[in-house]
Chain A
Amino acid sequence: MTNDALSSTYELVPKTWDEMHTDPTNIRSQYDVINAYLKKTSPDILYKKEELSKQLFMKQGVTFTVYNDNEGIEKIFPFDIVPRIITAAEWDKIERGIKQRLKALNLFIKDIYNEQFIIKDGIISAELIYSCPNFLREMKGVKVPYDVYVHISGVDLIRNNDGEFYVLEDNLRTPSGVSYMLENREISKRLFPGILPKSNVRGVSNYPNMLYKKLKELSIKPNPNIVLLTPGIYNSAYYEHTTLARLMGIELVEGSDLVVKNHTVYMKTTNGLKQVDVIYRRVDDDFLDPLEFNAKSVLGVAGIMAAYRKGNVNIVNAPGTGIADDKAIYIYVPDMIKYYLKEEPILKNIETYQLGNPEEYDYVAKNIKDMVIKKTDGSGGYGMLMGHEASEAEIKDYLENVKKKPENFIAQPILRLSTAPCYIDGQLTPRCIDLRPFALSGRDGIDICPGGLTRVALKKGSLVVNSSQGGGSKDTWVLQ
């Protein structure tokens, strides 16, 4: 039995790049194998595969908990069975672009916390840097191993209707989602037996080994004690923390498991205190050390920053990297690339208007229906205004709020996120997607895992891919 009806109703979204279709009847060659497979599979079997994928997530405990009325409801991050496929040529450009960008961003962080040439040369104003909430004075003059600040990153890309990839945001603090990259692939192997090798898809399962190697080389000890610091079981990314710790064979610790004595970090074990050499922390800067940052934090460790400054422990990513992925700083990344590397940016930025600048504010206010306004220190898709969806009253209220502190807001034109086919109610239907590849930087350079997390806005017409707001994910296949 075949399933020709599967994509009979596939309606391309106007003025939007579709990852699979060039037009209603033709598809891009990288999708040939999977398309043929889907077409020859009966609707019943596809339905079963979808159910299977849900069960697999539940059975392995790949869930996050949503708290409502004191009751925790465990949910899976919705998974769409149809993979997103990237060609070798596309990947090559993405890879070069991200490497270039990370190189510049890392130089920028080093510069900002040391000599500040970029300010002295008038590229970025001191005011902007010091007004940024993620700038950490505590990091000034701190030497970090091999001058690497951002070890782990997850740059968000989107493909615009010109077919080019644009950088949406850099995510240089504690980006999550890498466990879904790994888990989605394991599930694809079971959903589509034989199709991955037939399509020459590059593997992603090496990521934990790559990460472990990067963490290990930060210490001069032959067998350093490396731990993963989690905020705990109630964190929505807890599953990821347990998975990474398990796959690397390292200890998963909470703040209360650690203690600082004589500027050295120890973990409390059944046979006494054991020194900790490298901490992959999934706790934000703010909560890292109650002595230096948020004094009420119970997620961190008192005295850890002092130990870090003494060089007695490595913290990954380094504290203070948030200065470089701030939305107000984002605008300057192309300038940084030119300034530090003397190169033209390979990946484009999205045109961004700073509302602190009266001229740009006026332009945005005039074209507000085509704009999305974001807070510079916001994340997770919260606190945004989508001009095309908002009512006049909402726009008015929002702008009133902006006027109080316009430098805290930026605006970008509403993007045409590319669409990819999703299996919804027995049909292939286009939905907007983005892409988060995961990069690891260390002593010997930058490695990017060939794949990543493709997030999907599962609601029809929606551009918001965040898991907290109805987003899902897809397996991401990078071809050889």
Chain B
Amino acid sequence: MLSRVANNLIWLERYMERGNGILSLLKVNFYANQDSPELFSWTPIINNFTTSDNEFYTEDAIECIDFMIFNLDNSNSLLNIVTRARENARSVQEHISREMWLCINNYYLHLTRKDLPKKLKEEDPVQFLEELKSHHLIYNGTLDITQERGASYYFLNVGKYLERVIQISDFTVLKLADIGKTTDKLEQTIYWKNLLLSVGGYQLYLKTHKSTFNEDHVIKMVFQDKLFPRSVYYCVNKLNKHINQLIESNELEKNNLEFLLGKLESTIKYTTIESINAQGLHNFIDDIKADIRNISLNINSVYFSNT
């Protein structure tokens, strides 16, 4: 496969995954913000997705959502993200299924409809966000049932799980900052619950631990659960699997990659909750992010190796 194509496939999927995560976060924060605006302000979310020179500031929920969905100056607005995903898809059309291209193009056309911003302002914002989210659900289903399992599929998945690990880490850091500001146990519990909602793990948590909020349980679920598709461990495991498929089919050089991924996977798997707490969750996340960055750089070197 062309190196450029591999790169575009990874980014196509990273953007789609990012868009999906942003929509989840916006919806969860909208609900939480309506309950207790003092605990769930919009500013940290906006800051997480913008650069340090961002001047946009408001606590108006609809305006914040509008900024995260439509604002063209915000490089992480959904519109910009989906536009870039589509550009990547457009340039790899002969590698992805026809259905995937039609699906992404259709999503883009929906998002660029002239009457859409008005809809956000005048109608139910939750339904508005859910409608956008349904495009991601359709996309993921389409990818699953139409794309053959081969290099393209593996590269797409590398993008998906890289982005997801980064996102879970960022969302957690975001909540840790809030948690650090309070000593009120109840407030802390609310933040942990909010983290679970943001990564889509609340329901599973209830099924497993019932309605009792224990910090350690949340951390274990978000970082170490083997079956929860949005846990860091699950994502790293999948990343490892897809990268190994690429190495086996000679699409990727081993270099350090195998070692780095193997090490990261076992670190996450075998670090006890006591040891995480001892070093501080923050440091634990920082190490994961550093490893992920390193892995990402190693994959990048593939595109530049032959120039």
Contacts and interface: CB of A to CB of B under 8 A. Distances in A.
Interface of A: 58-61, 233, 238, 242, 245-246, 249-254, 256-257, 259, 267-273
Given A259-B306, A259-B307, A270-B246, 8 more contacts: A242-B90, A252-B91, A252-B94, A268-B2, A269-B3, A270-B251, A270-B302, A271-B251
B93 interface: yes
5 contacts: A59-B106, A61-B101, A242-B93, A245-B93, A251-B2
Nearest to B112: A74
A270 B252 contact: yes
A129 to B, nearest CB: 39
B109 interface: yes
A242 B91 contact: yes
Contact of B87 (A58, A233, A249, A273): A233
B94 A257 contact: no
Contact of A268 (B90, B94, B252, B307): B307
A245 B101 contact: no
A256 B306 CA distance: 11
Interface in B189-236: none
Interface of B: 1-6, 87, 90-91, 93-94, 98, 101-102, 105-106, 109, 151, 246, 250-252, 302, 306-307
Contacts of A273: 306
Contacts of A249: 94
B109 A59 contact: yes
A267 B2 contact: yes
A44 B102 CA distance: 28
B87 A251 contact: no
A233 B90 contact: yes
Contacts of A58: 109
A59 B109 CA distance: 8
Contacts of B98: 246
Nearest to B101: A61
A270 B106 contact: no
* Residue picked from A61, A250, A256, most chain B C-beta under 10 Å: A61
A225 to B, nearest CB: 11
A267 B5 CA distance: 11
A272 B306 contact: yes
Nearest to A242: B93
Given A257-B3, A269-B3, A60 B307 contact: no
Contacts of A246: 93-94, 98
A249 B90 CA distance: 15
B214 to A, nearest CB: 45
B306 A268 contact: yes
Nearest to B299: A270
Contact of A253 (B2, B105, B106, B151): B2
A2 to B, nearest CB: 35
Contacts of A256: 4, 307
Contacts of B6: 270
B257 to A, nearest CB: 13
Nearest to B249: A271
Contact of A257 (B2, B93, B252, B302): B2
Nearest to A261: B306
Contact of B94 (A60, A238, A242): A242
B102 A251 contact: no
A270 B94 contact: no
Contacts of B250: 271
Given A259-B306, A268-B2, A270-B3, A59 B94 contact: no
A28 to B, nearest CB: 38
Nearest to B98: A246
Nearest to A232: B91
Contacts of A251: 2, 5, 94
A210 to B, nearest CB: 18
B102 A60 contact: yes
A256 B106 CA distance: 30
A250 B94 contact: yes
A470 B151 CA distance: 43
A145 B302 CA distance: 36
Nearest to A243: B93
A233 B302 CA distance: 22
A190 to B, nearest CB: 15
Contacts of A250: 94
A61 B91 CA distance: 12
Q: Which of B6, B98, B109 has the most A CB atoms < 10 Å from its CB?
A: B109
B94 A245 contact: yes
Contacts of A270: 1-3, 6, 151, 246, 251-252, 302
B103 to A, nearest CB: 10
A25 to B, nearest CB: 44
A242 B5 CA distance: 13
A354 to B, nearest CB: 44
B297 to A, nearest CB: 16
A251 B151 CA distance: 14
A257 B1 CA distance: 11
B3 A60 contact: no
B230 to A, nearest CB: 28
B105 A233 contact: no
A248 to B, nearest CB: 9
Contacts of A245: 93-94
